[in-house]
A and B are shown apart, each in its own frame.
Chain A
């Protein structure tokens, strides 16, 4: 019996050690980032693991190399516009497909879901040429437009609409509400949690997107925070002090959204590839 107890205690210790190490390794790069932001580049590349006194110097270097307010504003503008438009257009479509189902529309829906299989690598060249033709290179519209066409978010809304109570809609129709009124006045408020989860999926995707903005945003005044970090960081001898400031700035909004909406965040992540 004692040997069983000992074994039990031993395995409990192993479990805690394993989980502890996993949690530590997961958090560590965040610590490294914050500590790095206070150290000089030469300390960072030596692996110094304690806070230094160079925070202001790094901020200063970052600000002289990067028009930070503009870059941050670019990222924020693209993210907000793309997120609002995606949620609006996709929820309209998801609702439309579920409520006004018809045979033909069902076929279109299946075709639309097939676009989920298209890897972005196969789209980037023709999309680039398309944007060039429209004269949209170096504009934020070019970043937003392909993002808004999201078959996945439509799918997500349609799946959730199955849980939208019929009685509500029928009652509203009896009351003489028009279809668009039902959508904006009843559906939207009722489906808050679906919107929240979808918001997180789109927000994370757009804020962190890299490849497509890299292709269409070539002039410095249009660049986003992700592009700036990448160009600072991929230099042969990067100024890591400044880079750390950039990564902190880029991570703050997503961390904030994560901690503010943790439950929906996990829901969104689980839903994002259903």
Chain B
């Protein structure tokens, strides 16, 4: 049988197709699908360590009466409600300025602003921690510039601790998001800008009324992905506050305790409570699912 007729006949069960996709499907079933179902099952169980028994709605009840959970939930929301808009605005402004072909050293500037993306989350967190120590670099600079009289208590005050983490995350991800905007801007017809410029539309109005509406789908997309990323925030807060491995509270007054960090602590630091930790983790699953559906609809809008 020749190869061509073989293709035309298309056997009902073709071995080749399954051989190609089989290994991947087996791995995903074992290390994604099975665990997520297992964790759903665990979320209805209570007890310490491996001695679990069915607890019905007990974990949900505990969730609503757990002040630490609400601290973690609030912190996570603070992080994305404040950080995501700041970062995306910065990224958008930077991208629209860099998109101008008359800018000199464009490639160099773009590379420099993108560079933070190559660092590991742990490495940059440690670097930021060392810059923000009590009498360290940042406070010295702020005092020398006359912006503050005494050093800011970055590590001991809840507000400033969160601020520092927000600064750090913004540093790491602004360039990354900028790249998405730059890529999308390449698809915008430059003649639209030229026409607006000749008509005397000022730069800020061109930005607000031309660039932003045309980039709406990408902006929506980056908003959703950044939010999902922030919902899972772990590496930075664990490294900067030591709340992940060295023990103690996550930042002053647990101000940097995120949901992921709380789940980690419930599982590996306190008396291991797998069932309840699984329940908390399903809060993230729920939030991510809601956001992913939003993203899905945004993507459909992009196609339309």
Contact = CB atoms under 8 A, between A and B. Distances in A.
B125 A233 contact: yes
Contacts of B21: 92-93, 96-97, 100, 105, 108
B238 A25 contact: no
A112 interface: yes
Nearest to B10: A102
B164 interface: no
Nearest to A25: B171
B199 interface: no
Interface stretch (A64-72, A125-133, A189-197): A125-133
Contacts of B242: 234-236
Nearest to B41: A126
Interface in A146-190: 146, 148-149, 151, 154, 170, 173-174, 176, 179-180, 183
Interface string A94-114: 011101111001001000100
A101 to B, nearest CB: 8
Contact of A269 (B109, B176, B268): B176
B120 A29 contact: no
Contacts, number: 296
B119 A254 contact: yes
B57 interface: no
Interface in B247-273: 259-260, 263-264, 267-268
Contacts of B285: 117-119, 122
Nearest to A120: B232
Interface residues of B, number: 104
Contacts of A129: 38, 50, 274
Given A23-B109, A47-B141, A229-B122, A266 B114 contact: yes
B16 A125 contact: no
A215 to B, nearest CB: 7
A243 B128 CA distance: 12
Nearest to B225: A273
Given A105-B21, A214-B245, A117 B288 contact: yes
A123 B17 contact: no
**Chain A: interface residue count, which band?**
35 or more
Contacts of B131: 29, 32, 47
A102 B14 contact: yes
A47 B138 contact: yes
B271 to A, nearest CB: 14
Contacts of B234: 121, 210-211
B82 interface: no
A22 interface: yes
Contact of A121 (B2, B16, B284): B284
16 contacts: A16-B103, A23-B113, A27-B112, A29-B128, A29-B171, A93-B23, A122-B36, A145-B27, A210-B121, A226-B123, A229-B126, A231-B245, A233-B129, A250-B122, A251-B119, A270-B180
Interface of A: 11, 15-16, 18-20, 22-27, 29-30, 32-33, 36, 44-47, 49, 89-90, 92-93, 95-97, 99-102, 105, 108, 112, 115-130, 145-146, 148-149, 151, 154, 170, 173-174, 176, 179-180, 183, 204, 207-208, 210-211, 214-215, 226, 229-236, 238, 240, 243-244, 246-247, 250-251, 254-255, 257-258, 262, 266, 269-270, 273
